[in-house]
Every structure is written in structure tokens, then in C-alpha cells.
Amino acid sequence: MGRARNIGVAATVLAGLLCVVGCGGGSDSAADAVPDDRGGGSPNVLLISLDTTRADYLGCYGRPGGVTPNLDRLAAEGIRFERAYSTAGITPVSHASLLTGLNPYRHGVRVFFGAASHYLEADHPGFASLLGDAGYRTAAFVSAYPASERFGMHHGFERFDTGVSDSVMQQDMSRLPPKDGVWADRAAAAAQRRADATVDRILDWLEGGDDRPFFLWAHFFDPHDTQLVPPVSWLDRFDVRPREPGAAKRVYVPEVAFMDHHIGRLFAALRESGAYENTLVVVTADHGQGLGDHGWFPHRILYQEQIRVPLLMRLPDGPRGKVVSPTVRSIDVLPTVLEALQLPLPLDLDGAPLQPVIDGREGARVAYAEALNTLDVFAPRALPEVHRDRLFAVADDRWKLIYHHDHPQRSELYDLVEDPGELRNLFADRPDQAARLLEEIRSRDAMYVEIIEPGEREPEVFEKLRSLGYVDG
Ligand SMILES: [Zn+2]
């Protein structure tokens, strides 16, 4: 088929038709490695991670006002998981779990930077290496430094485009309209990019395709930074002034909306090319954002607004418009995709395919998350003292324990059915449930942390993180 699989804007419909007929049916060994018994070629895989995006700010999760029409449409076309958890409230830890199907104590990325590891080693196979071995063309387009190769997120990708470390990225930022330049002279601009720039680069990559199916990880960072804001027209649409009192919270909505708009542009390009119908799509977030709930604006702790994330899936031959209520986890995404592609699962994943939960044969999973704040030099000084601890959380459909390792008496237990806002701590009142969930944590060896010597503080890392607002002192 040669280059007939290209998703070029110019030859889109033809390419799509050829793709349906011939993708995965080539004679080269790489293509043969991909099972092809659907009659439509091996599906492409599009994994989208929305940084800092709370589930309850998406229309399909109940947010009014038409903020996320493109993600809402995806939910209507596929599966929406009502209660999905990430494994941490910080970017590299959570993404490492999403990419590998492992909890942090298994993949080893446990802090942003500090006395425990912050680097994903190459020996944990993830989406890129597993799908690459199966004959996929693989690429990642990430929008900020915390999801970059500095934290080991690049292993296995043929193309890894961070928008940070190459000079082309600087060019991308500078060509954005000057009137939108609220961010233009900020150091932050060098360490992150907006959804419009990221999608532009993705579309270029899609145009240069070959006859393999693709695996694409697209990471968007817009809702993370309250000062790197969308274009003025988007702020106007939601009546937000960037420097008015309360703007830090109010700008969150246009940031989410702007990100959704550009994800819609990506979906539209895939539809136009004919590739969309044969693309498995997963959208989730690495964590949410406090926005003042529980007295905390950013992320990194373990309440629901931080670790309950959106999770949408559009599986080939999967249900349409389905809502799945039992608790599921970001570590389940990789095995679910592998199963949908009829590829073998690595033996020792922490996650498991969600197909039995989707079709009702299985109930809730037990979710795990952690926040080793005392080991992380980037835990902000403003972090409330009660969270200056090693925090470990487990949750099922009803109960959630946040265990405070260094001050066990401060531990928290919530009944998520009666108290979804986590306002009434039942740790002292329900020792039976607390003990049961604590045993869940202990049984995993999650509390063992390999302490590493800080050694030379890497100044480059420190400066980039400072520019993104992670360092407040
Ligand atoms: Zn993040």
C-alpha cells in the first residue's frame, strides 16, 4: 500500500478508503505482527491525557454551559467511566502509571524531584514499546516539561515531541498571535505550549504517515497554568479578565474549553481523513485541580477533585453512549487497549482489562494513589501542614482511606456514597473499614520507598519547574 495510509489533508478520503481495505494486511513482518481479523485493518490508537482536568468540568460529567462539546460527543459515541482514579496528583507519577499500567511503587516514579525516584526506567514496557513491537507507528506530542523525557516518558516512541527541548518549539510559541501574548514574555512559555500549537504539530505528523497503524499520545497542558491563558476571544466568551480578583479560578473554564476545541480539531482531521472510524480513542486526565476545595488550589493531594479523573473510551465494536459506574483506574487503560487490539498482556501489570467491567461481568476495582510530599522538594511551602506527610490512598465504590504515614492519627476515612465531598472524616468512627483498607495498602508494599541521595541538584530541572510555578520559595 506504500504511502496510501497517509492522513494527508489533501488525499484524505482516498487515503481513508484505502486504509479500510488494506491497513494491517501488508506483507512486511511488522504489519503481520498486528492481528487483523476485524476486516477493517488494525485500529489506530489515540491516547489523550488532559493535564490538570477535573472530571466535573466536562459537560459529559454534568458541567453546564457547553464547555466541552467535543469530549461530550466522544462520550456519546463511546464509554464514559463515572468513577475513574489516577494514581497521583502530580504529572510524571500519574502519567507513568497511565503509560505502563503500573502503580507508582511498581514503576518507581514517586515524586516530582527529591529524595525518591522521579524517572521512569526503560525496562517498564508501556504503550509505545508494546505497540511499536506490534507494528505500530508511535509518537507522543506532549505540551509541557513535566511529561517530558526528563521524567522518562519518552521510552519506546519513534517520535517524541515535547515542545520544550528543541528549538522548533520556540518558533511555535513565537508565531502565536501577539495579541494573545499574555504569556509571551514569561519564562513559562519555554516550558509548555498551548493546545493549538500541539495540535498543529500532531496534524503535521499525521500527514507524514506510512502504511502502519498509529499509536499517538497527545498531552495537553492548558488547564494547568492560570497565567498562561487562552486567546482573549476565549476569555471574552466566558467573561473572564485575566487579572481580576478570582481570575485564577475563573480562567479554568476557558482553559478547558480551549483545549476541548483543539481536541475537536484533531478529531475533525481524523474524521476527514477517514481514519477516525478505525481509531480507538481514550481520553483521561493525570489529575484534577483543587480550585479551592479542601482549602487547596493546585493539585498533588488525594481528595476526589484531585485524583478522580475523566475517562472516556471509544473502542472498536464497543458500546456507544454507555456509562460505567464501578470504580476503575488509570492503570487499567493499557491492558484494556491491548485486549481490544487482541495483543498479549504483559504478565505483571497492576491494571487489568476493563472489558468485564464494561459489560457488567465484574464490579468495582480497588484504586490506589499516593503523594509522598515529604520526599518531594517541589511540595509547595503553602501546602497545609496536614498534607506534609507520605499520603497513601485506597478507594472502592464506597470507602476511601487516606493514610497519613508519618502521623497515622491524622488519617482520613470517607464514605463516598454518603459524603462525596469528603467533608466528614470517619477514621475514628469506622475502624473496621479503616483497617480493611489499610491492609490493602500494606499488602502492596506501597509504603516502601527507596530513598535516593539528592546529590547534585540539577539546576536545569529546577529552573524549568520554577518557570512553571512549581517552586514558590
Ligand atoms: Zn499534571
Tally of CB atoms within 10 A around 234: 19
Distance, CA 325 to ligand 1 centroid (Å)?
Answer: 24
- Other Cβ atoms less than 10 A from the Cβ of 467: the count is 17
CA distances from 80 to 62, 67, 189, 218, 307 (A): 12, 17, 33, 19, 16
**393, part of any domain:** no
For residue 233, give the DSSP letter.
H
Burial 204-233 (b: 16+ CB within 10 A, else e): ebbbebebbbbbbbbbbbbbbbbebbbbbe
**Of 235, 293, 254, which Cα lies nearest the Cα of 422?**
293
The pLDDT value given to residue 192: 79
- Rounded Cα gap, residues 242 and 167, in angstroms: 29
Number of compact structural domains in the chain: 1
Eight-class DSSP state of 276 = G
Query: Residue 106 falls within a domain, yes or no?
Result: yes
Rounded to the nearest 10 degrees, the angle between the axes of helix 195-207 and helix 167-174 is 120
Residue 306's CB is within 10 A of a number of other CB atoms, namely: 28
Distance 308 CA to ligand 1 centre (A): 13
How far is C-alpha 36 from the geometric centre of its chain's CA atoms? Answer: 28
CA distance 95 to 306: 14
- Closest alpha carbon to 105 in 345, 453, 455, 443: 443
pLDDT at 187: 46
50, part of any domain? yes
Task: State the distance from the centre of ligand 1 to the C-alpha of 52, rounded, in angstroms.
Answer: 5
- pLDDT at site 42: 94
For residue 300, the CA-to-ligand 1 centroid distance in Å is: 9
Q: How far is the CA of 456 from the centre of ligand 1 (A)?
A: 25
Among 356, 342, 352, 270, residue whose Cα is nearest residue 77 = 270
Q: What is the per-residue pLDDT across 213-244, written as a single tens digit (0 to 9) for each?
A: 999 999 999 999 876 788 889 999 999 987 78
Q: Which domain holds residue 169?
A: 2-367
Side-by-side strand order, sheet with 399-404: 367-372, 390-395, 399-404, 412-415
- The answer to whether position 204 is within a domain reads yes
Please tell me the distance between residue 296's alpha carbon and the centre of ligand 1 in angstroms: 16
Quote the pTM value: 0.86
Cell, residue 458: 540539577
* pLDDT tens string 135-146: 999 999 999 888
CA distance 435 to 183: 49
What gap in Å lies between CA 289 and CA 296, rounded to an integer?
9
Q: What is the largest CA-CA distance in the chain?
A: 66
221 Cα: distance to centroid of ligand 1 (angstroms): 7
Q: Specify if 89 maps to a domain.
A: yes
CA 276 to chain centre: 21
The CA-based dihedral angle spanning residues 218, 224, 226, 231, taken in that order and rounded to the nearest 10 degrees? 10
Return all residues near 439 (Cβ < 8 A) that are at least 6 apart. none
Q: How far is CA 375 from CA 292, 409, 464, in A?
A: 24, 20, 19
CATH number, domain containing residue 327: 3.40.720.10
Rounded to the nearest angstrom, the distance between the alpha carbon of 440 and the centre of ligand 1 is 26
- Please enumerate in sequence order all residues whose Cβ is within 8 A of that of 264, keeping only pairs 6 or more positions apart, or say none: 69, 70
Per-residue model confidence (pLDDT) at position 193: 85
Confidence at residue 243, expressed as pLDDT on a 0 to 100 scale: 76
Residue 372 falls inside a structural domain = no
Give the residues of the chain that fall short of pLDDT 50.
1-39, 165-189, 456-457, 473
Cα of 51 vs centre of ligand 1, distance in Å, is 4
DSSP string, 61-81: GT--SSS-HHHHHHHHHSEEE
Centroid of ligand 1 to alpha carbon of 246 (angstroms) = 22
235 assigned to some structural domain: yes
Is residue 415 included in any domain, yes or no? Answer: no
Q: How far is the CA of 211 from the centre of ligand 1 (A)?
A: 33
